[in-house]
Amino acid sequence: MTADNGTYDKPRLLDLFCGAGGAAVGYHRAGFDVVGVDIAPQPRYPFEFHQGDAMTWPLAGYDAIHASPPCQLWSEATRTGDGRVHHDLLTPIRARLLTADIPYVIENVPKAPLIAPIVLCGSMFDLDVRRHRCFEANWGLRDHHWPCRHRIWARRFRPNNSVRRRHGGRLAFVVDVTGGGSGGYGGRVADWRAAMGIDWMTRDELTQAIPPAYTEYIGAQLIDAIRAAA
């Protein structure tokens, strides 16, 4: 990534299953030139975007790859009995990334079959969101030094409909960003955006996103690893 004039170019990162760009913004802040790929249109993706299949998209020409395969197979939030079949795309995408022979990160929910992942939580970055996500890497990613600590904060978020019916009006420590927004705490889109550190997404896009703070933390380590190996 050293240019002909001796300056250092930004490394290019391929963002597979990119969604609306929560992970992408974090990597961009860490210093990457990010290119997103998703099978669905992503009109609010903030960087270069290509609509395509992550399972067949060419992997050459990048310095690192991030992949966020669908998590519904392992997510506790997935509704049962909806008639849909959720496939494991994590295992085959890992096999693809290993063939690329460059640093990669795979993100998913805690119950997904990731290999030696680290776990990140919103409270590690002073975010008011309950959103544990796991990250597998093939280059020595270091865990965060803070534990999850939401419960030492003040209760200040109002319950949504289903929680209010079961537990009354008790306030919560954090915002829940989940599909539908009818359960949990902090149901306004403005609450979700503030808690996630994301101001450009719709409600549905937020439910599929991760806070940029997570990948900014990872990206700072990743960019150092790439530069050290150059």
Spatial contact of 44 and 208, defined as CB atoms under 8 Å apart: no
Q: Strand, coil or helix: what is 90?
A: helix
Q: Tell me what pLDDT residue 47 has.
A: 98
Buried b (16+ CB within 10 A) or exposed e, 26-56: bbbebbbbbbbbbeeebeebebebeeeebee
Q: Tell me what pLDDT residue 147 has.
A: 80
Q: Tell me what pLDDT residue 27 has.
A: 98
Q: Tell me what pLDDT residue 191 has.
A: 84
> Which of the 8 DSSP states describes residue 31?
T
Each residue of 71-121: pLDDT tens digit? 776 565 544 445 566 789 999 999 999 999 999 999 999 999 999 999 999
Per-residue confidence band for 179, with pLDDT thresholds at 50, 70 and 90:
low
Q: Tell me what pLDDT residue 183 has.
A: 41
Per-residue confidence band for 145, with pLDDT thresholds at 50, 70 and 90:
confident
> pLDDT averaged over the chain?
85
Q: Tell me what pLDDT residue 128 has.
A: 86
What is the rounded CA–CA span in Å between residue 216 and residue 29?
A: 6
Task: For 14, list phi and psi in degrees, rounded to 5.
Answer: -90, 125
Give this prediction's pTM: 0.86
Q: Which domains does the chain have, with CATH numbers?
A: 12-229 (3.40.50.150)
> Which of 123-127, 136-140, 176-180, 188-192 comes out lowest in average pLDDT?
176-180
Q: Residue 189: in which H helix or E strand, if any? A: helix 189-196
Is the confidence at residue 174, as pLDDT, over 80?
no
Taking residues 121-132, what's their average pLDDT? 89
- Count of Cβ atoms closer than 10 Å to residue 136 Cβ: 21
Is the confidence at residue 8, as pLDDT, over 70?
no
Sheet of 64-67: strands edge to edge?
48-51, 33-38, 12-16, 64-67, 104-108, 133-137, 118-120
Spatial contact of 178 and 203, defined as CB atoms under 8 Å apart: no
Q: Tell me what pLDDT residue 84 has.
A: 61
Is the confidence at residue 222, as pLDDT, over 80?
yes
